[in-house]
């Protein structure tokens, strides 16, 4: 059996996929999650169902905001910190939840890691950039978040930086670009569009559909995340994107093609905090981590639709 690693947020979309991949690589995985009520607990329990049969997986229901984290870190070599309150739009009216589950949870984790200086691989977000002038965006671009969610991710990144400088805690900050694939959160666009189109239901599209996104298939995110955990680099920040972009309208059309139904939607106003375009420059992750996204959008969407159909 390999090293012991901690995956926070392991009942979530990305955390559960990551924990499975780490188990397959023979790591001894401790997963923790507190089942926040952002979406139904039942879905998160389903996310954990494959992991139950893994001999090298252990799960603990606990909250990073108030548990004794030092106990969780016993024997742990690397921390994959996926737990957070995600979602740009929800963040306007629920700032305290973001402060607690993003900033406070990360600061408590860092404080506990001071003793043994485990590496922290942190799930940051393209939302730290806001609306940028030059695309594809590089890691060196000035951060200019336009949502409370993005602000909390920037603060977490700053915390990781100062704990590295002051206490020598190594970390890899990974700025994920919109992730999709099996178990995608129910609030995310691809999940909503796919279900609506499959069921022949009408839906609303925020904006005019010309906004574009760098969508990243979850297996690629997981591969990049594990490479960052295994890298010997002391403190680095990486964009982890899908390698191409598509407009939201183009995405809807593609889902319609796969499902074999005409999408029925109407465009409504843009949402505050939504950026116009995202596109990651992934050169740094390619060079340092050998990161190379493998799943093209059409293939990833097909896999996802197959997953929903069950
Ligand atoms: N999904 C994306 O497109 C995307 C994009 C950029 C960044 N991210 C980041 O990736 C990470 C995972 O996102 P996801 O989409 O899998 O979200 P998710 O909501 O499915 O998973 C997060 C999990 O963390 C748990 N959690 C939250 N606060 C906790 C706490 N205080 N203690 C213990 N557990 C807690 C939740 O219960 C949840 O199961 C998050 O940090 C998110 O901000 C996601």
**pLDDT, tens only, 253-294:** 999 999 999 999 999 998 888 899 999 999 999 999 999 999
For 21-31, the pLDDT digits (tens) are 999 999 999 99
Q: How many Å apart are CA 306 and CA 310, to the nearest integer? A: 6
> Which atom of ligand 1 lies nearest, measured to the CA of 216?
3
pLDDT at 295: 98
Ligand 1 within 6 A of CB of 63: yes
- The answer to whether position 208 is within a domain reads no
- The answer to whether position 188 is within a domain reads no
Specify whether the CB–CB gap between 159 and 130 falls below 8 A.
no
Q: How many Å apart are CA 209 and CA 251, to the nearest integer? A: 9
- The answer to whether position 12 is within a domain reads yes
Q: How confident is the model at residue 54 (pLDDT cuts 50, 70, 90)?
A: very high
Ligand 1 within 6 A of CB of 82: yes
Q: How far is the CA of 86 from the centre of ligand 1 (A)?
A: 6
Q: Is the pLDDT of residue 16 over 90?
A: yes
| Catalytic site positions | 149
> Per the structure, how many domains does the chain have?
1
Q: How confident is the model at residue 147 (pLDDT cuts 50, 70, 90)?
A: very high
pLDDT at 227: 98
- The answer to whether position 152 is within a domain reads yes
Residue nearest to ligand 1 atom 42, measured at CA? 86
> 31: domain CATH number?
3.40.50.720
- The answer to whether position 98 is within a domain reads yes
For 185-202, the pLDDT digits (tens) are 999 999 999 999 999 999
For 200-255, the pLDDT digits (tens) are 999 999 999 999 999 999 999 999 999 999 999 999 999 999 999 999 999 999 99
pLDDT at 2: 85
Q: Is the pLDDT of residue 13 over 70?
A: yes
For 73-127, the pLDDT digits (tens) are 999 999 999 999 999 999 999 999 999 999 999 999 999 999 999 999 999 999 9
Specify whether the CB–CB gap between 159 and 103 falls below 8 A.
yes
Q: How far is the CA of 52 from the centre of ligand 1 (A)?
A: 20
Whole-number average pLDDT of the chain: 97
Residue nearest to ligand 1 atom 43, measured at CA? 86
* 49 φ/ψ sector (left φ>0, alpha ψ -120 to 50, else beta): alpha
- The answer to whether position 245 is within a domain reads no
- The answer to whether position 288 is within a domain reads yes
b/e sequence 149-165, b meaning 16+ C-beta within 10 Å: bbbbbbbbbebbeebbe
Q: How far is the CA of 90 from the centre of ligand 1 (A)?
A: 13
Q: How confident is the model at residue 1 (pLDDT cuts 50, 70, 90)?
A: low
Mean pLDDT of 61-71: 98
Specify whether the CB–CB gap between 57 and 19 falls below 8 A.
yes
Residue nearest to ligand 1 atom 20, measured at CA? 12
Domain hosting residue 37, numbered range? 4-176+218-240+280-293
pLDDT at 70: 98
Ligand 1 within 6 A of CB of 304: no
Ligand 1 within 6 A of CB of 137: no
- The answer to whether position 183 is within a domain reads no
Q: How many Å apart are CA 150 and CA 273, to the nearest integer? A: 9
Q: How many Å apart are CA 59 and CA 190, to the nearest integer? A: 29
Q: How far is the CA of 73 from the centre of ligand 1 (A)?
A: 19
Specify whether the CB–CB gap between 207 and 248 falls below 8 A.
yes
Q: How far is the CA of 262 from the centre of ligand 1 (A)?
A: 32
Ligand 1 within 6 A of CB of 179: yes
pTM greater than 0.75 (yes/no): yes
pLDDT at 7: 99
Ligand 1 within 6 A of CB of 152: no
């Amino acid at each position: 059996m390999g090293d012991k690693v901690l995956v926070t947020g392991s009942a979530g979309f990305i955390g559960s996929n990551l924990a499975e991949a780490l188990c397959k690589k023979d790591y001894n995985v401790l997963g923790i999650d507190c089942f926040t009520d952002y979406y139904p607990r039942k879905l998160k329990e389903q996310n954990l169902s494959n992991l139950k049969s893994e001999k090298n997986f252990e799960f603990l229901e606990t909250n990073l905001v108030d548990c004794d984290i030092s106990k969780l870190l016993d024997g742990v070599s690397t921390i994959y910190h996926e737990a957070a309150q995600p979602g740009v739009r929800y963040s306007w009216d629920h700032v305290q939840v973001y402060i607690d589950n993003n900033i406070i949870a990360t600061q408590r984790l860092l404080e506990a890691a001071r003793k043994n200086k485990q590496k922290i691989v942190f799930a940051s977000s393209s939302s730290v950039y806001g609306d940028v002038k030059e695309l594809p965006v590089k890691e060196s671009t000035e951060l200019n978040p336009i949502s409370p969610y993005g602000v909390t991710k920037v603060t977490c990144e700053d915390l990781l930086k100062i704990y590295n400088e002051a206490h020598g805690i190594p970390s890899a900050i990974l700025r994920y670009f919109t992730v999709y694939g099996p178990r995608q959160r129910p609030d995310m666009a691809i999940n909503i569009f796919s279900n609506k189109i499959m069921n022949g239901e009408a839906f609303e599209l925020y904006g005019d559909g010309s906004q574009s996104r760098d969508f990243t298939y979850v297996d690629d995110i997981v591969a990049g995340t594990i490479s960052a955990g295994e890298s010997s680099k002391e403190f680095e920040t990486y964009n982890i994107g899908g390698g191409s972009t598509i407009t939201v309208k183009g995405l809807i059309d593609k889902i319609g093609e796969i499902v074999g139904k005409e999408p029925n939607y109407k465009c409504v106003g843009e949402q505050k905090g939504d950026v116009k375009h995202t596109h990651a420059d992934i050169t740094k992750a390619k060079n340092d981590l050998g990161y190379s996204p493998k799943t093209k959008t059409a293939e990833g969407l097909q896999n996802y639709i197959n997953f929903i159909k069950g």
